[in-house]
Amino acid sequence: MNILQINSSARSQGSESTRIADSIVARLTAAHPQASVQRRDLASEPHPVLDEPTLQALFTPADQRSAEQAARIALDDALITQVQAADVIVIGAPMYNFGITVQLKAWFDAIARAGVTFRYTASGPEGLLTGKKVYVAVARGGMHKGAASDTQVPYLKQMLGFLGMTDVTYIYAEGMGMGPDAVAKAQADADQQVAAVLA
């Protein structure tokens, strides 16, 4: 089993989404001692955003790219290779201003490539990253699950599904900004969710 852990919090220390993601990976590796784990921390290893030079590089045939263009596309290629090789993907996804972090958006922009991780067909788009189990650790300062204010999880479902990843489990830690008692409750609830889905 190949496990890929993506931490997308801007915080290198004290991130609840990372704590939950670490817990999920620990349980997976305890159950599968031979599993390999790759971790990518998008705070300590930020990926460049999708900008005009990157778009120009993507739409330039590979054999016609400049050295700079080739080097930029190689950064995206490395992320795509990681995802393709993974059997299980664990994503730490805090909510920032009602959405995913810019770090996670840059990761999705890098791995979503037509003809590689999805393709267009006569019947519509088809995701090519199939057969993977995904766990998403979602941490929020307030209470948003099931509410109109939760634009984060619908986006994640749309994006992951678009790429072919439909077997997705969400672990929630909500109320992290509502005081020490709420934090303790959120952490205990998240730990119970992890134990239940990975029993």
pLDDT digit string, tens, across residues 164-183: 999 999 999 998 889 999 99
Q: For 62-117, how does the pLDDT look when each residue is reduced to its tens digit (9 = 90+)?
A: 999 999 999 999 999 999 999 999 999 999 999 999 999 999 999 999 999 999 99
Q: For 135-162, how does the pLDDT look when each residue is reduced to its tens digit (9 = 90+)?
A: 999 999 899 998 899 999 999 999 999 9
Domain 2-197 of CATH type 3.40.50.300: no
CA 176 to chain centre: 20
- Angstrom distance (rounded) from CA 84 to CA 111: 10
The pLDDT, as a whole number, for residue 199 is 87
Q: For 41-57, how does the pLDDT look when each residue is reduced to its tens digit (9 = 90+)?
A: 999 999 999 999 999 99
Q: How many CB atoms lie within 10 A of CB 159?
A: 18
Residue 125 has φ and ψ, to the nearest 5°, of -70, 150
